[in-house]
Amino acid sequence: MAVGGFDGIQVLQQIQTRNIEIRRAFLSRNRALEQIRSSLYLSGTFVRDYLLDPESGGAELQRGNLQELRRGMEAALNRYSSSLSPVEENPMRAMRIELAAYWKVLDPILHWSPQERRERGYAFLRDELVPRRATVLEIADKIAAINEQELNGGDERLEETFGRFRRRLFLMLAATLGTGLVLAGVVASHILRLEKQARIRYEQVVHAQTELKELSARLVKAQEEERRAVSTEQNEDVGQ
């Protein structure tokens, strides 16, 4: 029982640790994906504001915002890539390629003049930025679905581990009860054997005591008979 209890505590600790790891990994990847999505939406807003801003000072501000967003997205991608599962490698590679193409398309417009922004800005937003952003978001949704599948798969693996623990605990309890029953049978048999031996010895002692009493009675009777015989003989001698 002690071994079973110790083993059960260890297994439960493993299950709890694994559950915490799965949840933390899921939340970390989910936060990274949300950061990538929000950065994409913000980048579209910054690009739109940049293209619509005729002032060069405002354009510089939007360029700085875009560069900061790009660094944040790279950091989020690196965090997500640190705990990739095999099924996520291809979608993540595709996302990196699409994001690289997205930023590559954005680089030239950061040097447009106010006139170029007015003349080509709307067409750029419609034909380049929106479709590419939609493609990246679609890949992000696929990765999020895989991430959720990984979470569900982790739950299934935990359930399988817990099932193995239940079976092992049942076997341990069955072995403990079986051993206890065998031990109880052996002890009961030994007690019954000792009881039988004690009864036999008691009967032997009682029989010996009975025989001793009978022998004592015969001895006393023989002594009395001998005394009477001696007394009779002495009386006859005196009479003569």
CATH number at residue 32: 1.20.120.1730
* pTM tops 0.75: no
Domain assignment of residue 227, yes or no: no
| pLDDT for the residue 130 | 86
Domain assignment of residue 39, yes or no: yes
| pLDDT for the residue 185 | 92
Q: Taking 90 as the threshold, does the pLDDT of residue 87 lie above it?
A: no
- Provide the 8-state DSSP code for 87: G
Residue-wise pLDDT for 8-64, tens only, equals 788 778 878 877 887 887 888 888 888 888 888 888 888 888 887 766 556 677 778
Domain assignment of residue 160, yes or no: yes
Cα dihedral sign, 131-137-143-148: negative
Domain ranges, residue 43: 2-177
- Tell me the pLDDT band of 186, cut-offs 50, 70 and 90: very high
Domain assignment of residue 26, yes or no: yes
Q: Taking 80 as the threshold, does the pLDDT of residue 191 lie above it?
A: yes
Domain assignment of residue 168, yes or no: yes
Residue-wise pLDDT for 100-159, tens only, equals 888 888 888 877 877 887 888 888 888 888 888 888 888 888 888 887 877 777 777 777
AA identity, residue 90: N
Domain assignment of residue 205, yes or no: no
Q: What is the number of structural domains in the chain?
A: 1
| pLDDT for the residue 192 | 92
Q: What is the mean pLDDT of residues 2-9?
A: 76
Q: CA of 190: how far to CAs of 184, 187, 193, 202, in Å?
A: 10, 5, 5, 18
Domain assignment of residue 225, yes or no: no
